[in-house]
Amino acid sequence: GDKVKQSPSALSLQEGTNSALRCNFSIAATTVQWFLQNPRGSLINLFYLVPGTKENGRLKSTFNSKESYSTLHIRDAQLEDSGTYFCAANNNNRIFFGDGTQLVVKP
Amino acid sequence: AQTIHQWPVAEIKAVGSPLSLGCTIKGKSSPNLYWYWQATGGTLQQLFYSITVGQVESVVQLNLSASRPKDDQFILSTEKLLLSHSGFYLCAWSLGEGLNERLFFGHGTKLSVL
């Protein structure tokens, strides 16, 4: 979307490596969510963030509201991490999704 | 634990035919409910949301309608399908008092309009 810009649009990683995905917002986001859409289409909620950082296993996400961005760090990438990652920003009770980052993890 | 169930899993329909997609939430009282549409390879577009039974708000007009006949049920429908209705439809519910707080999605319905 034009209010939420995700980068990169696509990414290929070797198994066991690390990477970071980013979202930049042109709106004043109050909360941010990160989702993983698996190849079957199911969307899994990875993080729900107010400004700050959260960590869950090999994933860590930061939301910086002052500089209008959020990042998702993937450590020690595994094959099952493959899919499309979406970030979504909440602004005035409306939600805006980015266009996604397609991640492929290769053995 | 809350569960969300969508039906059908997939549909192939003819242009001009009617459509009804369903979504049921169990284990959560008075959830906020949402319908989303996703074009193949595209982003998610919120179509409708509902805060309570009998009340539905439209976010984007795509010649579709939605209804909430029961607290735990959300229906998406149209009387005449268009080719542009093809895509992936996802139902979601959210925690919290406000709209669009932490979202949890169903498994989706793949719709092909021919």
CATH code for position A46: 2.60.40.10
Q: What is the pLDDT of residue A1?
A: 66
Portion 33-92 of B in contact with A at CB < 8 A:
42-46, 88, 90
Q: Do B46 and A95 touch (CB under 8 A)?
A: yes
User: Percent of chain B beyond pLDDT 90?
Assistant: 80
- Predicted local confidence at residue B99, as pLDDT: 77
Amino acid A15: pLDDT: 97
B105 touches chain A (CB under 8 A): yes
Domain with A58 in it:
4-106
Q: What is the mean pLDDT of residues B1-26?
A: 94
Touching check for A91 and chain B: CB below 8 Å? no
Tally the domains of chain A: 1
Token representation of residue B64: 């579709």
Q: Is A86 on the interface with B (CB under 8 A)?
A: yes
Put residue A8 in one of left, alpha, beta given phi > 0 → left and psi -120 to 50 → alpha: beta
A24-62 core/surface letters (b: 16 or more CB in 10 A; e: else): bbebebbbbbbbbbeeebebebbbbbeeeeeeeeebbbb
* All domains of chain B in start order, with CATH: 3-113 (2.60.40.10)
Distance (Å) from the C-alpha of residue A96 to the closest C-alpha of chain B?
A: 8
Residue B81 has pLDDT above 90, yes or no: yes
Q: What parts of chain A have a pLDDT lower than 70?
A: 1
Q: Which chain A residue is nearest to residue B6, measuring alpha carbons? A: A42
